[in-house]
Amino acid sequence: GAGVSQSPRYKVAKRGQDVALRCDPISGHVSLFWYQQALGQGPEFLTYFQNEAQLDKSGLPSDRFFAERPEGSVSTLKIQRTQQEDSAVYLCASSAELGRSYEQYFGPGTRLTVT
């Protein structure tokens, strides 16, 4: 079956531009998570949703970062006025339910480079 997909896979943005990263979770998965992975590091939590409700956004680095999941399926992570420190791989993951026993299924990531 289809896994988690993300688009675009690669994005180059000039400093100051706005970008939008899309995540299509596994169909029927209730929970959706966004992570930021810097080179040589593990994924760092950004935010997560249960259906359309954003339950925790404590990991978003600044108010330039915004995430939504309006219909409880596809999610978009938006970064306004990009800065060089935003360069990273952005990972999306989904899980069937919310809870510690449920594994997360990861997408391939979007590699963002800010020049």
Q: Where are the beta strands (DSSP E) in the chain?
A: 5-7, 10-13, 19-24, 31-37, 44-50, 53-56, 65-68, 75-79, 88-95, 105-106, 110-114
Q: Residue 114, Cβ neighbours under 10 Å: how many?
A: 19
Pick the closer one to other proteins by CB: 19 or 92.
92
d(CA 77, CA 92): 9
Q: Which amino acid is at 109?
A: G
In angstroms, rounded to a whole number, what is the distance separating the alpha carbons of residues 90 and 8?
11
Q: x-or-dash pattern for other proteins, window 74-103, by CB under 8 A?
A: -----------------x-x-x-xxxxxxx
Give, as ranges, the residues between 23 and 42 that touch other proteins (CB under 8 A): 31, 33, 35, 40-42
For residues 41 to 70, the per-residue mask of contacts with other proteins, x marking binding by CB under 8 A and - elsewhere, is: xxxxx--x------xx--------------
Does 110 bind other proteins (CB under 8 A)? Our answer is no
CB atoms within 10 A of CB 94: 26
In the list 60, 77, 79, 107, the residue contacting other proteins (rule: CB under 8 A) is 107
Nearest approach, Cβ of 34 to other proteins (angstroms)?
11
Residues that bind other proteins (CB under 8 A): 31, 33, 35, 40-45, 48, 55-56, 91, 93, 95, 97-109
